[in-house]
Amino acid sequence: MPLNWPPATAPAWPPPEIGTSLECSDLRTLVGILLAAGFTHAAPTSAENTAYFNAARCDHGDRVTGRMLVSPSGIRYPFAVCRDAVHRDVLVLWPPYYCGFDSANYTWT
């Protein structure tokens, strides 16, 4: 299981724009669905790095890089990408809170 993830202060999942549940197998699919729903990319703020990402570790114990997806109403949802070049796991906000090997294979634009 990931360590220090999901953040206790993260917004409730899923976003109300989506409905009652949303689970994805990888970061690319997640971003595709949320961008189609009007979300935008963002880099985490310093405060968000502190609150969400600095202490988080993936299920293999790797450090993570923070990503933010911002809803049309301005709610910022954190996701974390494992820094191991092979594992490349993405930590998400629904159980089991990670998507597994190579699931963060997506270029954040």
Partner 1 sequence: MTPVYVEGFEHGVISASGGGLFSAVTNAPTADATIKRTGGYSMRCYKTAAAACFVSLPTQPASQTYEVGRFYVRVDAAPSAATGLLRWDTAGAVSFYIGLSTARVINASIVGGTQQNGPTLELNTWYRIDFRLYCGGATYTIDWQVEGSAQTQATLGSQAASTFSTTTTRVGSSSSCTHDFYFDDVVISNTTGDYPIGPGGVVGLSPNAAGASNLSTGIEDNGSVDVDDTTNPANIELDDVPFNGADYIKQVGVASTNYAAVAFADTAETTIHGAQAFLAYTSAAASPANSASAKIYDEDGVETDIFTGDMSESSAFYKSAICRTPTGGWDTAAVNALQGRVGYATDYAPVPYWQCLMIQVAYGTGGESHSGSSSVSGGGAIEATGTKGGKGSSTISALGAIATLGFAAMFGLSSISGGGAIATTGQKSATGISSISAGGEIVATGGRTIFGSSSVSGGGVIVATGLKDARAPTSIAGGGALAGAGTKSTTGTSEISAGPGAEATGTKTALGVSVVSGGGAIESSGTSEEAEEYSGASEVYGGGAVVSLGEKNGKGTSLVSGAGAQEATGRKSTTGASVVSNGGAILALGSKSALGASEVTGGGAITSEGHQVTFEEHSGASIVSGGGVIESYGVKGIWQTDAILPTPSGRTVTAEDSKRTVAANSSGRTVTVNRRRTWN
Piece of the chain touching partner 1 by CB under 8 A; list 4-12, 28-36, 38-46, 65-73: 28-36
- Name all contacts of 36-44 with Cβ < 8 Å and 24+ positions apart: 37/72, 38/71, 38/72, 39/15, 39/69, 39/70, 39/71, 39/72, 40/69, 40/70, 41/67, 41/68, 41/69, 41/70, 41/108, 41/109, 42/68, 42/69, 42/70, 42/76, 43/67, 43/68, 44/68, 44/78
* Window 33-72: contact mask with partner 1 (x via CB under 8 A): x--x----------------------xxx-----------
Single residue of 6, 30, 64, 82 touching partner 1 by CB under 8 A: 30
Residues making contact with partner 1 (CB under 8 A): 1, 18-26, 28-30, 32-33, 36, 59-61, 86-87, 95-96, 99-101, 103
